[in-house]
Amino acid sequence: MILNVDESSISNLGISGFGGLIRNADGAWIHGFFGNIGVTNILHAELMAIYRGLLLAWDLNIKDLWCYSDFVMAITLVTKPVDGNACADYLAKLGANCNEVFISIANPPTGLNFAF
């Protein structure tokens, strides 16, 4: 399946919308979506399109998905590994091994290498 997304803004900091569609491998329409997120910048609007598209795909039980966007910065943010993300990765692994829905911690847990 293929997810195509885009944003639309009056200006870089103006009324913004987003939209997208999910197609099958032949390009046929499966499902579409759109929305208004008020005053924001174009990056936020594009990221919202990606986010909402992924949520929709998940809700439709579509797990094998290619996402296409014409906004290089948005795609880079969601695909390129970031060195500082190692801390978030460590915390995500703790989450996968616990039984709680949400845990808030004020101090880094033992074992977390917090050096940047």
Q: What is the pLDDT along the chain (116 residues), one digit of tens a residue?
A: 999 999 998 877 888 999 999 999 999 999 999 999 989 998 999 999 999 999 999 999 999 999 998 888 888 877 776 666 677 778 888 888 888 888 888 888 888 776 54
Q: Enumerate the β-bridge partners of residue 66.
A: 2
Model pLDDT, residue 109: 85
Lookup: tokens for 92: 């995500």
Model pLDDT, residue 114: 61
Model pLDDT, residue 92: 81
Model pLDDT, residue 88: 76
- Would the pTM of this model clear 0.85, i.e. be above it? no
Model pLDDT, residue 96: 86
Q: Are 33 and 19 in contact (CB under 8 A)?
A: yes
Domains of the chain by start residue, with CATH = 2-79 (3.30.420.10)
* Length of the chain measured in residues: 116
Q: Enumerate the β-bridge partners of residue 19.
A: 6, 34
